[in-house]
Amino acid sequence: MAKNKGYKSYEITEGVERAAHRALLFALGIERQDLDKPIIAVVNSRNEMVPGCVAQEYIVDKVKKGIIEAGGLPFEINTIGVCDGLAQGHEGMKYSLPARDIIADSIEIALEAHRFDGAVFLATCDKMTPGMLMAALRVNIPSIFVPAGVMKAGDYLGQQITISNMREYVGKYLTGKIDWQTLQQIEELACPGVGTCSMIGTANTMAGICEVLGLALPLSSTMEANTPAKGREAHKAGKRIVQLVHDNIKPSDLLCYESFANTIRFTLAIGGSTNTVLHIPAIAYELGIKINLESFDRYVNTPYIAKISPSGPKTMGDFHKAGGVPAVLKSLQEIMDLNQTTVTGQTLKDIALQAEWNDRDMIREKDNPIRSDGGLKVLWGSLAPEGAIVKRSDCQEKMWIHEGPACVYDSMEDAIEAIKEHQVKSGSVIVIRYEGPVGGPGMREMQMITSLLMGSGLGESTALVTDGRLSGSSRGPCIGHVSPEAALGGAIALVENGDKISINLLAGTLELNVPPEVMEVRRRNWVPIVKEAKGILKRYTRMKPNPLNGAIWE
């Protein structure tokens, strides 16, 4: 029986003129009757360096088995993966954000060149999931996402620990609060297995967003890695993608503006990663939907209902047991649009109604929130006329309103050295600039400096402002994405040591208290710092990606 001409793979399997194409497919060991089956990509970033990617080894064969059982023909394709944890604190972090768009581009090339009919995306850490989402929406073939699974939390003296705690212990060691032997002991306990780190950083925020978009099965984003439940979910997703191909249900058939508004509400409700202000706009862009920093400001009244590490002691395992994403949808059903259909065939409302909401202290009811407004806060003002972002849920309330003298550094390394040498005084505002997309280049995360702030005790009195990014696992009074960045002549380039900076996380303001006439003199005398770049970073700098539109490559 000839294949449905609606399948893209028809272009490489059918017709006399495709004889050479079929010959190449036969070289892979497939049989002639397989040519009538829909060809499904299993999109993987599996490698041996990234703990989240190693977890994909367990699920990839389960996915393929499901595809085969449902009558599809699976082929695994691979893309790159970067672990932001391993890339922290050195030049390697400059490559993390550019990797997102390279991942999207590489998947687009593979899916389009080989005319796949559908795809299962094995989503995992940091930039891999948003890159895969961008590719799925760009290519727009039937797609389903299978998150790799969450790492178990570590245990130190009966206390749950995650990788974000680990970095704070470094600060405690540097300030003499723990000894070297203790630090080494904690190192070996913090990550007891593979999977995405068990806190609400970028990886798990983006995995949850896959569920909220309706592109992943319920509870899939919070399941523990390498478990029978995760294997069953992967098998089910493999079977489901074949049906989605038969029915020709594409991402564009499921997603609309309200879908992305839901992801913003979700992120604010759980105190998710600040990186979402880059990723959600970039993903929406692929469908021609405009989301920007002002969109996050628009939904700031979303209640904050789930305090997950690093905001509190509870980990992703606790969040899953409490009910996970479906319970969040159920709590917020009055303010979210849950009429969106998902890859299951159900609506988000159906999934919310079926949620097993087991812990209403871990995941609060909308009318009994931790706070009445969201975990992220957009800031505007003379220091950030185009906006900045802070994870307010991770900042002590006594630091929500703060004014202090600027301590200015032109790189993260300089700021780290200053803290190690005890040169930063309590009450200051540390300014780290020339770390933006162009100035960095690459817009590094400032995770190491934020962890040192908290571990050294300065996080209770000293703020951080940067045109770089903040890790999803950062906590404390840390403000990132200050725009325009220093390299493009933003106000942050003109700050001098001792200038007073005012921060108000209630009003959403970030002000540089320097008279306009003084700023004008400084601007006339300003000479930008240009950091050497090569390869992909050199090309990235030339493209001048803008955080306001998700730092996409246009």
471 is an active site residue: yes
Rounded-to-integer distance, Cα 554 and Cα 552, Å: 6
In the predicted model, residues of the chain with pLDDT beneath 50 are: 1-2
Instruction: Evaluate whether residue 434 is within a structural domain.
Output: yes
- HEC states along 275-324? CHHHHHHHHHHCCCCCCCHHHHHHCCCCCECECCCCCCCCCHHHHHHHCH
Nearest residue to 376 via CA among 302, 320, 446, 450: 302
455 and 536 belong to one structural domain = yes
Q: Are strands 401-409 and 429-432 parallel, antiparallel or unpaired?
A: parallel
pLDDT of residue 209: 98
Q: What is the bridge-based pairing of β-strands 384-391 and 478-480?
A: antiparallel
Domain range for residue 166?
A: 156-190
Q: Are residues 75 and 171 in the same domain?
A: no
Backbone phi, psi, residue 418, to 5°: -65, -40
> Is the N-terminal amide bond of 38 cis, ω within 30° of 0?
no
Last residue of a domain, one of 306, 339, 354: 354
Q: Tell me, yes or no, whether 280 and 141 share the same domain.
A: yes
Confirm whether 5 is domain-assigned.
Answer: no
pLDDT, position 511? 98
* The pLDDT value given to residue 460: 85
Residue 177 DSSP label: S
369 within some domain: no
- 499 secondary structure, DSSP code: -
- Residue 343 lies inside a defined structural domain of this protein: yes
CA distance 230 to 391: 30
Same domain as 290, residue 438: no
341: domain CATH number is: 3.40.50.2300
pLDDT the model gives residue 473: 56
Does residue 81 sit in the same domain as residue 181? no
What angle do helix axes 202-212 and 324-331 make, rounded to 10 degrees? 60
Q: Is residue 31 part of a domain?
A: no
Residue 316 in any domain: the answer is: yes
Tokens matching residue 282: 């970039």
Q: Is the omega angle on the peptide bond into residue 310 within 30 degrees of 0, that is, cis?
A: yes
Claim to verify: residue 214 and residue 106 sit in the same structural domain: yes
Q: Are 469 and 533 within one domain?
A: yes
With the CA atoms of 213, 67, 123 and 7 taken in that order, what torsion angle do they form, in degrees rounded to the nearest 10?
-60
Same domain, 348 and 429: no
Number of domains, the chain: 3
Query: Does residue 437 sit in the same domain as residue 543?
Result: yes
Read off the pLDDT of residues 307-340 as tens digits, 9 standing for 90 and up.
999 888 999 999 999 999 999 999 999 999 999 9
Closest CA to 242 of 332, 142, 314, 160: 142
Residue 385: CATH number of its domain: 3.50.30.80
**Catalytic entry in 471, 473, 474, 483:** 471
pTM of the predicted protein model:
0.95
In a domain, 362, yes or no: no
Residues composing the chain:
554
Same domain flag for 110 and 237 = yes
Q: Closest Cα to residue 452, out of 509, 409, 401? A: 409
pLDDT in tens, 133-148: 999 999 999 999 999 9
CA distance 400 to 418: 24
Residue 201 lies in a domain: yes
Nearest to 126 by CA among 201, 214, 49, 218: 201
Instruction: Indicate if 347 and 293 belong to the same structural domain.
Output: yes
CA distance 107 to 138: 10
pLDDT of residue 1: 39
Residue type present at position 127 = K
Let me know: does 304 contact 271? Beta carbons within 8 Å.
Answer: yes
Taking the C-alpha atoms of residue 311 and residue 500, their distance in angstroms, rounded to an integer, is: 28
Half-sphere exposure of 435 (CA within 13 A, CB side): 30
Listed residues 354, 386, 412: the one ending a domain: 354
Query: Residue holding tokens 């996080």?
Result: 459
> Whole-angstrom Cα distance, residue 407 to residue 238?
53
Distance CA 76, CA 97 (A): 25
Q: Which residues of 321-357 are buried (b: 16+ CB within 10 A; e: fewer)?
A: ebbbbbbbbbbbbeebbbebbbbbeebbbebbeebeb
In this structure, the answer to whether residues 309 and 424 fall within a common structural domain is no
